[in-house]
Structure 1
């Protein structure tokens, strides 16, 4: 076990594209939730003891909507309960949410990586997608974060947003790269059910760029990142050497991790598990001294091998033939020979002596490639 994900489901506003498990902050039992979260950690570690975690990632929702006292209590509890020493400790944050005092608290408890949901530097576009921060908020927050001692900072950008042009995306990308940060994530909008954008799309009121325009934006992304010395190590992620997200690599390497909090997902002892999503249900289960498990599934060997492929192929380095053999005692070319041959023929995959990886063309339609490995 290498990693733990901690979910804070509270937000001061709901973005129009977001389908993560979240609720409006006002009127929520936030203090009780933090107590329950720490209790879940203790219960889980009693069941599955581990010696050391290498990464912790606190996501949401918006973890930094917690007030200073709540943030202190959460971080203090995490450090007291989880066996974590000097690894990667990430907090997600919204620009404008972090006061100097909150930054001080995070730094004091060993948080050493911040991930900001910027999405765009076009203020009009930010309003269109339901964001409440401005580009100035981004610059001010990054200045405060660096002053507080944070160097490992990542920002997210989105493309293929409603009404977004290629020039607009290129402009946001240029502004982001001028910040000279060590890590960037950029991904296209996916319209998910139960979101504001989904409802608008059903009414014919959501005007998105064409698939060709989306592909050109992705091409712009890869070209600009390479120009600025940022290595593409996963379909949507770029970093200076040594600043790759160690936590996300746990997922893409198909390794096990804890997931704590309402709606959080875990992969523990070959079991994929999800927690109850509604905050009240989550709290009720823990009040009874029970783990808040909503659903769980023990993976078969075949399912594990399939996941190894469609998760591992997200990385630019792809899937190691040697590692696959060590994990499953199977030759990947025997297990998935037909799918691999088809994708190689279509120039979407390439196979070397040591690994299988997406070609540049394959990165544009990665999901189609991944589907080929689901039996």
Structure 2
């Protein structure tokens, strides 16, 4: 049962030397505020139930083929942009993964890369692509490093046709297994300057239980080799809460990050997503542990693991760029991850790719057959080789969403809470004042500190930041801000601190 608390808030607004009082009944729930407890890190919320936060406001839209063609002929109005390119193949399904799409097959990959690079070549020459520079490119999956060395080169060459800003970040995601020297050299020689590897754990037994390749010694040796590159950034992911991963093993994982020489690390909490092998085993009363341990970290244990990781890297003078990302030095910038939370334009390519075009959210369908069929059906013939159809990327199956009317505001919230610092000067004063009850509840519950100009998340707040983002959007849905015409305004956010 969720208990709703109605409270009456008196907000003071100062406008052109006139002082007026507004009274509003606010609804606050524990899912918005967390709960008061002696240990908010462990108990402010029950569990993290989703990897990301968001709210409604958009609706599905249908775009006629002619409109799609027109989109690519219109210059972009975005100030910052990215490319996202999806490679939906994996050699093996990991125990924690619920989005495995297609098994790795050289012939299937070869056909996919051929069609994908054709689409990239077409898109790169459009007015939409050429109108403004791209700050960052992310090649994700799946396992992009499962493609061949020559295909890495083809992909890099296709990306280079787009107008990239100076020092643009170009990331290739994947795993170390199978990423040999030939792929590495072709990647660095063709524009890739950042590499994100899913390590998840260095412990050999935990890795085997999770369905990962290779042992700890191989990982450390390979990461040390790659990290010697004079400019490329090497980043790894770790997951805390894997079956069999005790606190001792987690601490050894953290030490291994330092020893590996990498330039950045993400610490991700294992969450119970449906469809994973871990969840299937749990439904049958089993745990996919190691030969030595069936330890399964609960939410409180995972909270302690997060705190241990955060304190470990910050004690080593690593800089925290977000609630889950730290860097050893300035070569690691995490541009894509940072900008993607800011609602920038992201042109998506490939089956399963997501992004946004002209403010419209878009998600390409995952079905490879449909994706290839759309590509093949739109290939230019001699009769259409000079037509508009041949000059625009294929409209592949997928979903388009109307522009989010709150996109710019939501970007402020997401980026601020994810980084751990929400600059209140970025909010219009009525909105900052409207959120005062929520911010004060977070402060009371040990999740944040509040000053006149800034909301700063505590360690507990950073651990629960996705819950807090979800709670903020729930608060705004339950407590809509009055239209501007119905209330006085001020441009000073300083009244919210108490």
2:401 corresponds to which residue? Answer: 297
Deviation at 1:28, TM superposition (A): 5.4
**Contact 1:90-1:112 at 8 Å conserved across structures:** yes
Residues 208-233 of structure 1, C-alpha deviation per residue, up to 9 Å, x if partnerless? 21222111111110111111111222
Alpha-carbon shift at residue 103 of structure 1 (Å): 0.9
Equivalent residue, structure 1, for 2:416: 312
In structure 2, the residue corresponding to 1:95 is in which secondary structure? Answer: coil
1:94-105 equivalent positions in 2, closer than 5 A: 94-105=175-186
In the alignment, does 2:418 pair up with 1:352? Answer: no
Structure having the higher Rg: 2
Q: Decide which of 68, 79, 85 is 1:6's aligned counterpart.
A: 85
TM-aligned CA distance change 1:203 to 1:11, over 3 Å: same
Tell which deviates more after alignment, 78-87 or 262-271: 78-87
Structure 1 equivalent of residue 344 of structure 2? 255
The number of aligned residues is 370
**Cα distance, 1:337 vs. partner?**
3.8
Find the aligned partners of 2:151 and 2:463 in 1 and give their Cα distance: 42
Is this contact kept in 2: 1:104–1:148, CA < 8 A?
no
Kindly indicate whether the alpha-carbon contact (under 8 Å) linking 1:98 and 1:141 is maintained by their aligned counterparts in 2. no
Give the match for residue 245 of structure 1: 334
> Could you tell me which residue of structure 2 aligns to residue 19 of structure 1?
98
**Residues 42-88 of structure 1, C-alpha deviations (whole Å, 9 max, x = no match):** 55553733321111111111111111222221111121245455311
In 2 relative to 1, CA 339–65 (structure 1 residues): closer, same or farther, beyond 3 Å?
A: same
Q: 1:229 pairs with 312, 317, 326, which one?
A: 317
Secondary structure at the counterpart of residue 262 of structure 2? coil
SS of the equivalent of 1:37 reads helix
Q: Does 1:110 align with 2:191?
A: yes
- Please name the residue that 1:134 is paired with: 215
Instruction: Report how far residue 166 of structure 1 moved.
Output: 0.5
The corresponding residue for 2:362 is 273
- Is this contact kept in 2: 1:252–1:312, CA < 8 A? no
List alignment gaps of at least 5 residues for structure 2: 1-79, 288-293, 379-393, 478-498
Per-residue deviation, 1:244 = 3.0
Checking the alignment, whether the CA contact within 8 Å between 1:7 and 1:58 is kept in structure 2 is yes
Distance 1:61 1:28, change over 3 A: farther
2:426 equivalent among 323, 338, 356: 323
Shift in Å, 1:256: 2.5
Is residue 172 of structure 1 aligned with residue 242 of structure 2?
Answer: no
Per-residue deviation, 1:238: 0.5
Q: Larger relative contact order (C-alpha < 8 A, sep ≥ 6)?
A: 2
- Measured in 2, the distance between the counterparts of 1:288 and 1:341 equals 57
Asked if 2 retains the 8 angstrom alpha-carbon contact of 1:100 and 1:144, the reply is no
Preserved contact between residue 227 and residue 261 of structure 2 (Cα < 8 Å): no
Q: Aligned match of 1:372 in 468, 471, 479?
A: 471
Q: Which residue of 1 aligns with 2:109?
A: 30
Q: In the alignment, is residue 89 of structure 1 matched against residue 178 of structure 2?
A: no
CA distance in 2, matches of 1:188, 1:15: 15
- Give the stretch that moved more between structures: 9-18 or 174-183: 174-183
TM-aligned CA deviation for residue 293 of structure 1 = 4.5
Q: Is 2:442 aligned against 1:343?
A: yes
Distance 1:372 1:307, change over 3 A: farther
Aligned partner of residue 283 in structure 1, secondary structure: helix
CA shift for structure 1 position 4: 1.4
Shift in CA distance, 48/17, structure 1 to aligned 2, threshold 3 Å: same
* Pair 1:209-2:297 in alignment: yes
Q: Runs of 5+ in structure 1 lacking a partner?
A: none
Q: Against the structure 1 CA distance between its residues 81 and 125, is the aligned structure 2 distance closer, same or farther, given a 3 Å change threshold? A: same
Structure 2 residue aligned with 1:155, among 236, 256, 270?
Answer: 236
- CA drift of 1:263 comes to 1.0
State the Cα deviation string for residues 304-363 of structure 1 (Å, max 9, x = none).
5345323431112x23333344xxxx7431453443333233232333333333222212
Q: Secondary structure at the match of 1:24?
A: coil
2:146 corresponds in structure 1 to 65
RMSD: 2.3
CA distance in 2, matches of 1:36, 1:338: 53
**1:92 and 1:366 mapped to 2: Cα distance?**
25
Query: Counterpart of 2:10?
Result: none
Cα 1:175–1:108 shift into 2, 3 Å? same
Which range is displaced more, 223-232 or 343-352?
343-352
Render the CA deviation track for 1:231-264: whole Å, top value 9, x for unaligned. Answer: 2221111113422311111123332322222111
Moved more, 1-10 or 282-291: 282-291
Cα shift readout 1:97-128 (whole Å, capped 9, x = no counterpart): 21111111011112111111111111011011
